[in-house]
Amino acid sequence: MSVNPYLFFNGRCEEAIEFYRKALGAETIMLMRFKQAPDQNMVPPGAGEKIMHARLKIGDSVVFLSDGMCAEQKGFEGFSLSFTVADEAEADRRFNALADGGKVQMALDKTFFSPRFGAVADKFGVGWMIYVEPKE
């Protein structure tokens, strides 16, 4: 199990990656643009070149980043904690526990990138993304 910070940059993710590369020696270990998503109906208008998901290695840590929904505002929007779990049963258990008193933002379900993924804000307003890594 691991917990990773997931940072959203409202359309400025590429700029942020370059900044962290220069400032911290961050290494891009994965990057996916919205145009690479199989379901283009979920892509914000004009966001094809924007970053849907990226992973940066900073020292011994991994940080997740995204342009989010590419809103017009240019400020930092916030973050979610990405919680990687071992299997679908654990994803269901953790997601339901976090959703108790909270707000489901994306229902836990199979996606093109995970056998089980969902997003929820807990009762304190902290954003969580529950993710099962696909088996190879």
pLDDT above 70: residue 107: yes
If asked whether residues 63 and 91 sit together in one domain, one would say no
Helix runs in 1-136, H state only? 13-24, 88-99
If asked whether residues 67 and 9 sit together in one domain, one would say yes
The rounded distance, in Å, linking the Cα atoms of 88 and 6 is 21
If asked whether residues 61 and 16 sit together in one domain, one would say yes
Write the pLDDT tens digit of every residue in 28-48: 999 999 999 888 887 878 888
Spatial neighbors of 44 by CB under 8 A, at least 6 apart, are: 34, 50, 69, 70
pLDDT above 60: residue 74: no
If asked whether residues 85 and 71 sit together in one domain, one would say no
The rounded distance, in Å, linking the Cα atoms of 16 and 75 is 12
pLDDT value for 19: 86
76 — pLDDT class (breaks 50, 70, 90): low
The rounded distance, in Å, linking the Cα atoms of 81 and 126 is 8
If asked whether residues 11 and 44 sit together in one domain, one would say yes
If asked whether residues 43 and 95 sit together in one domain, one would say no
More confident residue, 73 or 17: 17
If asked whether residues 3 and 57 sit together in one domain, one would say yes
If asked whether residues 63 and 6 sit together in one domain, one would say yes
The rounded distance, in Å, linking the Cα atoms of 116 and 87 is 8
Question: What is the total count of domains within the chain?
Answer: 2
- Report the share of the chain in percent with pLDDT over 90: 51
If asked whether residues 90 and 130 sit together in one domain, one would say yes
Partner residues linked to 27 by β-bridges: 57
pLDDT value for 44: 79
Residue 15's domain comprises: 1-76
If asked whether residues 50 and 108 sit together in one domain, one would say no
Residue 8, amino acid: F
Lowest mean pLDDT among 17-31, 67-81, 87-101, 102-116: 67-81
Q: Write down the pTM of the prediction.
A: 0.71
If asked whether residues 28 and 63 sit together in one domain, one would say yes
